[in-house]
A and B are shown apart, each in its own frame.
Chain A
Amino acid sequence: MQLGLRLPDFVGRRNGGAVLRRIWWQSLWRGGLIALAVVFVLSTQFLFQLDLYGTWPLPDILHGWLDYFLDLLTVGGCIAAAVAVAASLRIGSGAISHVLLLSSIALGALAGEALLLLRAPLPPDVSSAGVLFAKVARWVVFGVLTYAAYVYQRRAAKAASQAHESELQRIQLERQMSEARLQTLLAQIEPHFLFNTLANIHRLYQTQPGLGRKMLASFVAYLRAALPGMRSDETTLGQEVDLARAYLDVLQVRMGERLRFLLDVPGELGALPFPPLALSTLTENAIKHGLNPLPEGGSIEIRARVDNLELRVEVADTGAGLRQTGGSGAGLANLRARLAALYGEMASLDITANVPRGIRATIAIPVRRA
Chain B
Amino acid sequence: MTPSIDSKRFWLRRAGYGLALGVAIALLEFAYYYPLVSTPGRLGAGLLASVLLPWCGEGVLLAVTVGLFELRQAPRPLGARQLALAVVVGSLAGVLAWQAFVQFVLRERFGIWLLRDYVGQPVEWAGIVLYNVWLMLLFGGLAAAVYFSRQRHARMLAVLRAAELDREASKEKLAQARLASLQARIDPDFVFQTLSRLERLYEADPPEADRVLEELIVFLRGALAEVRAIPGQ
Q: A residues near B, CB below 8 A?
A: 41-42, 44-45, 48-51, 125-127, 130-131, 133-135, 137-138, 141-142, 145-146, 148-153, 155-157, 159-160, 162-164, 166-167, 169-170, 173-174, 176-177, 180-181, 183-184, 187-188, 190-192, 194-195, 198-199, 201-202, 205-206, 209, 212-213, 216-217, 219-220, 223-224, 227, 230-231
Contacts and interface: CB of A to CB of B under 8 A. Distances in A.
B197 to A, nearest CB: 10
A302 B164 CA distance: 49
Contact of A220 (B171, B185, B196, B209): B196
22 contacts: A49-B127, A127-B35, A130-B35, A137-B28, A141-B24, A141-B28, A142-B138, A148-B146, A148-B150, A160-B160, A163-B160, A169-B167, A176-B174, A177-B177, A184-B180, A184-B230, A184-B233, A188-B228, A190-B186, A194-B186, A220-B195, A227-B188
B223 to A, nearest CB: 5
A212 B191 CA distance: 18
A359 B213 CA distance: 36
A205 B217 contact: no
Across the A-B interface, the 9 shortest Cβ-Cβ residue pairs: A130-B35, A152-B149, A50-B127, A134-B31, A159-B156, A187-B184, A180-B177, A48-B134, A166-B163
Given A148-B146, A160-B159, A163-B156, 12 more contacts: A41-B138, A45-B138, A51-B122, A149-B145, A163-B163, A170-B163, A180-B177, A180-B178, A191-B220, A198-B216, A205-B209, A212-B202
Given A163-B160, A230-B188, A202 B213 contact: yes
A206 B38 CA distance: 122
B139 interface: yes
B9 to A, nearest CB: 22
Interface in B160-184: 160, 162-164, 166-167, 170-171, 173-174, 177-178, 180-181, 184
Interface of B is mostly: helix
B44 interface: no
A195 B142 contact: no
Contact of B174 (A151, A173, A217): A173
Interface residues of B, number: 74
A180 to B, nearest CB: 4
Contacts of B156: 155-157, 159-160, 163
B202 A181 contact: no
A317 B168 CA distance: 46
A44 to B, nearest CB: 7
Given A145-B142, A159-B159, A152 B150 contact: yes
B133 interface: yes
B97 interface: no
A125 B152 CA distance: 49
Interface string B111-152: 000000000001010110011011100110011011011101
A243 to B, nearest CB: 14
Contacts of A151: 149
Contact of A149 (B142, B159, B164, B233): B142
Contact of A170 (B126, B166, B189, B198): B166
A50 B170 contact: no
A181 B217 contact: no
B177 A148 contact: no
Contacts of B13: none
Contacts of A169: 167
B127 A51 contact: yes
